[in-house]
Amino acid sequence: MLNVSDNKNNNQYIKLEDYKPFDYEIPNIFLDFIIEDKRVIVKTELEFIKKNININSLILDGIDIFVEKIYLDESLLEENNYSIQKNRLLIKPILKETFTLKIVGTIKPKENFSLLGMYESNGIITTQCEAEGFRRISYHSDRPDILSKYKVRIEANKEDFPVLLSNGNLVKANDLKHRRHEVIWEDPYPKPSYLFALVAGKLNCIKDNFNTKSNKKVEINIYVEKGDEKYVKHSINSLKKSMKWDEEKYNLEYDLSLFNIVAIRHFNMGAMENKSLNIFNSKLILANKETTTDEELERIEGVIAHEYFHNWTGNRITCRDWFQLSLKEGLTVFRDQEFTSDLHNRSIKRLEDAKFLRKAQFREDSGPTSHPVRPEKYLEIDNFYTTTIYEKGAEIIRMLKTLVKEENFNNGFSNFISTYDGKAATIDQFVNKILENNKEINNEKFKTWYKQNGTPLVKFKRKWDKEKQILKIQVSQINSNKKNLYNDLPLIIPINIAIFLNSYEKIKKTLILKEKEEEFTLENINSKFDSPIISYFRNFSAPIKWETDTTFAEKLLILEFETDYFTIYDTIKGIYKKIICKRIYEEPDINIENKLITTLRSIIRNNKSINLSLLSEILSIPTFSEIESEIKKVDPLKVYKTIDDLNYLFGTKLKVELLNKLKEIDKNITKLWPEGKDERKLIETIWRLLLHSKYEGIKNKVISYIDSNSMTLSKAALNVFTRINCPERELISNIFFNKWKHNPVVLDNWFFFKASIEINNNQKNIEALFKNEYFDVKSPNTLKSILNAYVTRNSLFHSRDGSGYKYVADKILEYDKSNPIVISRFLKIFSTFRQYENPYKRNIIKVLDYIKKNKLSPNTREIIDAILN
């Protein structure tokens, strides 16, 4: 691998093809942290074993570290034996094959506002080392394929920093003179530097325990800031469920007797899987039904599982280099999806995962920041923590499971764990283990999924011989993104289909497409229809788009006969998209609209056994962000108006049925999660439709829930008033704000709501949020709440004069200085500008050029260059 620091300073890309092992092993590291008022002294001892006997120098990475002394073994190095430049430390000559390097340095966490490395916030010292944060703490090669055993000593003032945590086991704790104390932590398992963690500060601990399958007692500790103790029960239960599930599903038992979690508000990531010391953004730990929605409770459960599952897929086995990031992230997303599916409703979970992928990852794949799941190059690795790496990576693994079947997949997974435990592995090695005994699937051909970017398109055409009862399905695949040479190669694509023979009988099969064009012949198809009706990619069996020759009438029959939740959802969203596009292009099809309304009325009235979350999806008109990337020549203001008009139409036409359903489900909406969650999801959809229909009788009922002891219902009341301009909107805003203004995690919902609503002097209203006394300038959550709501929910962001774009551009420049990770990811909202009509497209280009002319962080520079490329 090329030296990261050197390349970054020259704006050169790191390339996968240039990977080579590090010249040294570092089997053991001792870190001694002496925390003082304005600085932290860091004494690092690294044991080196030379692997490349032809090398006589050593290069280590470091940022903002003041070096006081360097020792090679016991000898103090003179300054002519080392140099520090361009964020790297060069030592030469080094003639020994084994040696210890001791570096005495100083860092200043209070002056570190990057939320990377070691930083202090609210009096708490925290670390975030993934991907390249450790180099802000100590000089190190800071790459994932160097695995070391860590021993850590921490010393600090006991009153200011009563809690001192690091990875592994606590082996010593002593009081020292002058009101100071020390602890020593030792991690028995080798790990890369990005998994190092340290937390020091005033934190309260909630304790619990878990007995593993071998009857080992694991102590569970969750550390939170004072006052947050009452919000951790859900997280503890989620962790214990995760530990039990991994034992039962994959025979993976936790390997230490201690598991610590720390909840920090000023934390850029959702959570970080540091070995035995997970650090979480507070939003993903603190929860109960009064402060947390049903969706958030399930997400917290899933994220806690995700970070715990990393103990094996990420920690015990890590990735060889950052190009293999999806090895740990895609695989662990797949595992947490399976966990949630087993605990809750598998069909609904699959629908939700597919919905998120198509909304977020398909958008990413269709724009200029599109990249393969295993990229070929990068400038800033932080920019590759994307839905492509995570969610699309998980989908590729799900396809593997579909292709080899569950038992074979589980055997391959177990073989991967046993073979690479304690090592840094690659995506190729994982795929090879899963397909090791499979004769049907070509390993190298399947790996093309990791090399392509863009979303493939599959086309279907039926050929039906009714007399001979032979159905032929002609299938072709294409990737319209031509920037990647791998995109011309055919993919192996599993296609779950159902062939409907009549209203109650269907044939389910999995077709495996291997070439660019294939024809599948199915015999003895005794269909009662003029042509067999087929549903494709049931259960979303591959992350692709597709086109079929299915007629509108057949789609309505699929809605009536299909049992696969995803297919039902996909079918009706396709109909909604057609209706929206017809209206946008001023060619409304009233016949299609009326037939859909008739079908929906029948479903609400007659299908009493339908899952209520599924019914909610069926009744939900797509939002702007869901439809934006599906339309060519986007006029955003017209899209928003069309969606509002359809909500009015469907709410008006279905009012009687919606009110009856509201009465029917009302008795279950107060049940404790996870019970009642389907009813609560549906109630928000019904409220929205009825409010858009201008039915005044629903307003007081919705308002009555804003002060509910269920955050799901309180937030639903906020959400449904977002686009309803009436005096009651300000009333519910004030009620919610006054109730929750002292709870920053919950108050982010209010910031999101306020940034979503459209009022006169809109940018003045948004600016007032940034100046609100409860806006926390260091909180990534609050910053994202305001910015994301404004650009995805507020049509005035798309003002024809470009003022909304210019306002956001100024915020990007302002906050890029303090939080480039959040801003570089947020900047991607402009990535679809080529699909926009003028003046929107012209206005976006103008603000992008404006942003580019300013001094930017490397993260943001890489993204804007990609967008404008």
Query: Which residues are registered as beta bridge partners of 400?
Result: none
| Secondary structure in 3-state letters for 101-117 | EEEEEEECHHHCCCCCE
DSSP state of 229: G
Phi, psi of 275 (to 5 degrees): -50, 115
- Rounded Cα–Cα distance for residues 617 and 682 (Å): 8
The pairing of beta strand 88-91 with beta strand 28-35 = unpaired
Token look-up 């798309």 returns: 798
- Rounded Cα–Cα distance for residues 619 and 605 (Å): 13
Residues in the chain: 869
Q: What is the DSSP string of 148-181?
A: EEEEEEEEEETTT--EEEESSEEEEEEE-STTEE
Long-range (24+ apart) CB contacts under 8 A made by 473-476 are: 473/497, 473/511, 473/519, 473/520, 473/522, 473/534, 474/517, 474/518, 474/519, 475/511, 475/513, 475/517, 475/518, 475/519, 475/520, 476/516, 476/517, 476/518
- Positions marked active-site: 307
- Cα dihedral sign for 575, 578, 583, 589? negative
Burial of 230 (0-12, 13-18, 19+ CB in 10 A): exposed
- Rounded Cα–Cα distance for residues 164 and 124 (Å): 10
Query: Which residues are registered as beta bridge partners of 620?
Result: none
- Rounded Cα–Cα distance for residues 846 and 841 (Å): 9
- Whether a cis peptide bond, with omega within 30° of 0, leads into 588 is no
Q: Closest Cα to residue 756, out of 707, 716, 792?
A: 792
Which alpha helices (DSSP H) does 620-743 contain, by range?
624-627, 636-653, 655-665, 677-692, 699-703, 711-720, 727-740
Residues 6+ positions from 331 with CB-CB distance below 8 Å = 313, 393, 394, 397, 430
Q: How many contiguous H segments (helices) and E segments (strands) does the chain have?
A: 30, 32
Cα Dmax for the chain? 95
Residues 6+ positions from 825 with CB-CB distance below 8 Å = 383, 385, 863
- Rounded Cα–Cα distance for residues 684 and 722 (Å): 12
Residues 6+ positions from 829 with CB-CB distance below 8 Å = 791, 792, 808
Amino acid, res. 516: K
Residues 6+ positions from 334 with CB-CB distance below 8 Å = 393, 394, 397, 398
What CA–CA distances, in Å, run from 228 to 94, 115, 286, 743? 52, 22, 7, 10
Residues 6+ positions from 585 with CB-CB distance below 8 Å = none
Nearest-5° Cα angle at 327, 454 to 307: 115
Distance of CA 348 to the CA centre of its chain: 18
- Rounded Cα–Cα distance for residues 42 and 65 (Å): 9
Burial of 553 (0-12, 13-18, 19+ CB in 10 A): exposed
Q: Where are the beta strands (DSSP E) in 365-412?
A: 377-378
